[in-house]
Amino acid sequence: MNCNKETIELMHNYLDGDLTSQEECDLRTHLEDCEDCQHYFHELKRAITLIKSAEQFAAPEDFTQKVIQNLPNEKKRVKFMRWFKVHPVLTAAAIFFVLMMTGMLSSWNTDSELVVSKQEELVVEGDTVIVPEGVTVPGDVLVKNGNLMIKGTIDGNVTLVNGKLIDDRPIDSQGLMASAGEVTGELETVDRMFEWMWYQLKDFFKGVFSF
Answer whether 129's CB lies under 8 Å from 122's CB: yes
Say whether residue 70 binds other proteins (CB under 8 A): yes
Judged by CB under 8 A, the stretch of 30-38, 62-70, 90-98, 124-132 that binds other proteins is 62-70
Question: Residue 22 to residues 19, 28, 171, 187: CA-CA distances in angstroms?
Answer: 8, 10, 123, 104
The least CB distance from residue 140 to other proteins, in Å, is 55
Of the candidates 78, 89, 171, 178, which one interacts with other proteins according to CB under 8 A?
A: 78
Strand partners, 189: 160
Question: Residue 52 to residues 40, 56, 132: CA-CA distances in angstroms?
Answer: 19, 10, 103
Q: Which is nearer to other proteins, 59 or 171 (CB)?
A: 59
**Alpha-carbon span 13 to 20, nearest angstrom:** 10
Say whether residue 178 binds other proteins (CB under 8 A): no
Q: How many residues appear in the chain?
A: 211
Say whether residue 46 binds other proteins (CB under 8 A): yes
Of the candidates 21, 50, 170, 211, which one interacts with other proteins according to CB under 8 A?
A: 50
Within residues 2-41, the interface with other proteins by CB under 8 A covers 9, 12, 15-16, 18, 40
Q: Which is nearer to other proteins, 65 or 136 (CB)?
A: 65
Of the candidates 82, 87, 169, 202, which one interacts with other proteins according to CB under 8 A?
A: 82
Q: Which is nearer to other proteins, 79 or 202 (CB)?
A: 79
Instruction: Give Cβ neighbours of residue 165 (< 8 Å, ≥ 6 apart).
Output: 147, 148, 149, 150, 176, 177, 180, 187, 189
Give the chain's end-to-end CA distance (angstroms, integer): 98
Answer whether 150's CB lies under 8 Å from 180's CB: yes
- Side chain identity at residue 100, one-letter code: M
Q: Which is nearer to other proteins, 66 or 202 (CB)?
A: 66
Of the candidates 22, 59, 118, 171, which one interacts with other proteins according to CB under 8 A?
A: 59
Question: Which residue ranges make up the site for other proteins (CB under 8 A)?
Answer: 9, 12, 15-16, 18, 40, 43-44, 46-48, 50-60, 63-64, 66-68, 70-72, 74-75, 77-78, 82
